[in-house]
Homo-oligomer: A and B are copies of this chain.
Amino acid sequence: MPRSNHSLPMAQLPSPRGRSVQELWDNRTVKRTSLCPFQISTPALDQFPVKLWRKLESRHFEYGDPSNLTFGDPAGYLPLREAISEHLRMFRAMVCDASQILITSGSRQGMNLAAQVLLDPGENAWIEDPVSFDVFNIFKIAGALLVPVRVDEQGLDVPEGIALAPLARLAYVSPSQHYPLGMTLSLSRRLALLDWASRTNAWIIEDDLDCEYRYVGRSLPSLHSLDNHGRVIYVGTFSRAMFPGLRLGYIVVPKGLMGTFTAARHLLDIGSSLVSQKTMSDFITEGHFYRHLRRIRTVHAERRDIMVKAIRDALGHILTVQIPEAGLYALGLLKDGLNDVDIAKKAAKAGISLIALSPYYQCNPAKSGLIFGFAGFPGQSIQKGIRRLSKIQFEA
């Protein structure tokens, strides 16, 4: 398989695994300690119906069979997988049955499984450029030779990917909403990507980030729903639709790979809590999931508006922010000459968690910007946080 000559900023790491990868982990992992504004990936946890959840849980925990205290099938609890398959059919137009769905501990584990099972060391993998450190590291550690492919207003530039590494083994893409730039992969790009994958037998990892939280218009059909050749691995999670501590997610895999994915999950960490899986299954099938999503989507949209207004009012002279159409964060682009990494460091000292955009770029010209998670914080906290932020010294 030909390898791309694309220069990689991390290429100084000689081996993708073992001790030589320590440096990569040490330097590039975001270490979270507690919830502080404006962390991303956090839904409105203050709105989660905890008592209802606990009541449903009691059926299987306090009053249930002691075998509920274990894990059961390493592929996951079948009725939950059936509920997810129905959910994906209704909301993402996906045709897949429970026998293709594997329960994971979240999208992070889903991507690690896909990288472990599908990649041999030294094979090329397209990643979006910019891309989060975590996605970068997951594929790097699996031994991939990473090929950063630029994103434009239509999302991943598929023709560029094909030009750089036509025979890559795998492409990572977040089509519903690119992280961190926020655009949606256009339909023509979706079709071009699927066409490339089916011609070359490449795999597509579809990270369907925040598909539950679209505030404007309708989502495009998922890549998985357009795929007639079984090339897409669909990665989903309940961390943001429910709560991160739940530790439940799922992947949808082509039927022929289900045995291998299941065995790999079993080998990694055996399986997920059966009580959590049974409770999640009830939460979906009894209608609570949709009610919760509907309610929380409204809450998120309100917080988004408060965030955008607060940024524009207090920081409009240095930040340009668009109203995000989906997801849990807003991206503000900094005016020329301002260094996002410096500002994020100063903000951290003031107790505000912001993510700097520019380090996410691998090869393409970096933009300077800041990422604000808005969903996890009530309006007043958002306004207070932005006020605090407006007092720091932005110029170097």
Interface residues of A (CB under 8 A from B): 15, 17-20, 22, 25-26, 29, 31-35, 42, 45-46, 48, 50-51, 54, 58, 61-62, 66-74, 105-106, 108-109, 112, 116-121, 123, 134, 137-138, 141-143, 243-247, 259-260, 262-264, 266-270, 272-276
Name the contact of A62 in the complex, choosing from B54, B68, B244 (C-beta under 8 A).
B54
Q: How many copies does the complex hold?
A: 2
In the bound complex, residues from chain B placing their C-beta under 8 Å from that of A141 are 116, 267
In the complex the two chains form, is A245's CB within 8 Å of B31's CB? no
In the complex the two chains form, is B51's CB within 8 Å of A66's CB? no
In the complex the two chains form, is A66's CB within 8 Å of B54's CB? no
In the assembly, what is the distance between CA of A3 and CA of B58, in Å?
Answer: 54
In the bound complex, residues from chain B placing their C-beta under 8 Å from that of A243 are 69-70
In the assembly, what is the distance between CA of A272 and CA of B272, in Å?
Answer: 11
Closest partner residue, chain B, to A268 (CB atom): B112
In the bound complex, residues from chain B placing their C-beta under 8 Å from that of A58 are 54
CB distance from A135 to the nearest CB of B (A): 10
CB distance from A132 to the nearest CB of B (A): 11
List the 4 closest A-B pairs by CB distance, nearest first. Answer: A18-B120, A25-B263, A35-B67, A69-B243
In the assembly, what is the distance between CA of A5 and CA of B18, in Å?
Answer: 23
Contact A272/B260 with A15-B120, A267-B25, A267-B137 known, Cβ cut-off 8 Å: no
In the complex the two chains form, is B273's CB within 8 Å of A247's CB? yes
Name the contact of A273 in the complex, choosing from B33, B34, B138, B246 (C-beta under 8 A).
B246
In the complex the two chains form, is B262's CB within 8 Å of A112's CB? no
In the assembly, what is the distance between CA of A31 and CA of B266, in Å?
Answer: 8
Closest partner residue, chain B, to A110 (CB atom): B269
CB distance from A88 to the nearest CB of B (A): 22
In the bound complex, residues from chain B placing their C-beta under 8 Å from that of A20 are 120
In the bound complex, residues from chain B placing their C-beta under 8 Å from that of A42 are 70
CB distance from A44 to the nearest CB of B (A): 8
CB distance from A244 to the nearest CB of B (A): 4
In the complex the two chains form, is A22's CB within 8 Å of B69's CB? no
In the complex the two chains form, is A109's CB within 8 Å of B269's CB? yes
Q: Which of A106, A112, A123, A247 has the most CB of B within 10 A?
A: A247
In the complex the two chains form, is B273's CB within 8 Å of A26's CB? no
In the complex the two chains form, is B31's CB within 8 Å of A262's CB? yes
In the complex the two chains form, is A121's CB within 8 Å of B67's CB? no
In the complex, 16 of the A-B residue pairs with CB atoms within 8 angstroms, ordered by the A residue number, are A17-B116, A17-B120, A17-B143, A19-B118, A31-B263, A45-B70, A69-B244, A71-B245, A108-B269, A112-B268, A116-B141, A134-B267, A138-B267, A245-B273, A246-B273, A247-B269
Known interface pairs A25-B264, A121-B121, A245-B276; 9 further A-B residue pairs with C-beta atoms within 8 A, sorted by A's residue number: A18-B143, A22-B260, A25-B263, A32-B72, A54-B61, A108-B268, A108-B269, A137-B267, A247-B247
In the complex the two chains form, is A29's CB within 8 Å of B263's CB? yes
In the complex the two chains form, is A35's CB within 8 Å of B70's CB? yes
Q: Which of A26, A32, A70, A243 has the most CB of B within 10 A?
A: A70
Name the contact of A74 in the complex, choosing from B31, B48, B275 (C-beta under 8 A).
B31
In the bound complex, residues from chain B placing their C-beta under 8 Å from that of A54 are 58, 61-62
In the bound complex, residues from chain B placing their C-beta under 8 Å from that of A108 are 267-270
In the complex the two chains form, is B18's CB within 8 Å of A118's CB? yes
In the assembly, what is the distance between CA of A350 and CA of B299, in Å?
Answer: 54
CB distance from A273 to the nearest CB of B (A): 4
